[in-house]
Amino acid sequence: MNDTQRVGLARALSKMGYCSRSEAAELARAGRVRLNGSLTRNPEAPVRLGKDRIEVDGKAVEAGAKIYFVLNKPRGVVTTAADEQGRDTVYSLLPADAPWVGPVGRLDKASEGMLLLTNDSEWAARVAAPETHLAKIYHVQISVVADAALTAALEAGFAVKDGEVLRVSRAEILRSGEKNSWLEVTLDEGKNRQIRRMFEARGIEVLRLIRVAIGPLALADLAKGQCRNLAPTEKLAMDLAMKRTSE
């Protein structure tokens, strides 16, 4: 990075893998951050990455190695660093010696399955960006017996409660019982609670919602509540997939 390229202080701490941007902003406002020896309370103070010295609580911050985790999130666990209601968070499932990582996107409390976490903020932003069109695949159990008309409607799109028109890129019936069905639903541009909102708009209850894949990365046999490092070949496959979909 040359002298003319600068980022805000909070963003610099995030890019260096120290903490999230919001946490970094709180540290700065609390008077715990020094920039080149001077106390800096402005989270947007310009920083030259690789040149300026940042200290938090008197200790120099160095850019850490990039870490990429894949976690099989259980139902009932929230995707936050801390929860004011005392609920279990995904961070309780990470290795005790793990550095700071942030979630790539979200899974709500009732949802399960694949969650990526990393301290590589730029990579996380690319994975989560709608324009990347990286397929995200979910297995969804619903409270009715699905038919072809339902899957066709999901793919064609329709207006939900707030008037927004939503669609999925693919919907397929996996299996059905007497009272419910499992569908495989693929999104390439997920909106907030999109799958739940679409079924709610049709008066259908979502019983379970499990994310089983993101791009070429599949949940496979990773046990519920378990976390592992992304293999270099998996990281490369994700990068190649994002490059293809963005071209």
CA 23 to chain centre: 17
Contacts of 121 (CB under 8 A, 6+ apart): 11, 14, 15, 17, 21, 102
Task: For residues 1 and 41, give the distance between their C-alpha atoms in angstroms, rounded to a whole number.
Answer: 24
Contacts of 40 (CB under 8 A, 6+ apart): 9, 28, 33, 34
- Name the CA dihedral angle for 7, 8, 13, 14, rounded to a multiple of 10 degrees: -80
Q: Residue holding tokens 């970094």? A: 24
Contacts of 203 (CB under 8 A, 6+ apart): none
Measured between its terminal Cα atoms, the distance across the chain in Å is: 25
Rg of the chain in Å (alpha carbons)? 21
**Catalytic hit among 83, 88, 108, 188:** 108
- Strand, coil or helix: 133: coil
Task: For residues 111 and 4, give the distance between their C-alpha atoms in angstroms, rounded to a whole number.
Answer: 44
Task: Return the beta strands (E) in 84-239 as ranges.
Answer: 102-103, 112-118, 136-142, 158-159, 165-166, 170-176, 181-187, 206-214, 217-218, 227-229
Give the strand pairing for 136-142 and 181-187.
Answer: antiparallel
The answer to whether residue 108 is catalytic is: yes
Query: What residues act catalytically?
Result: 108
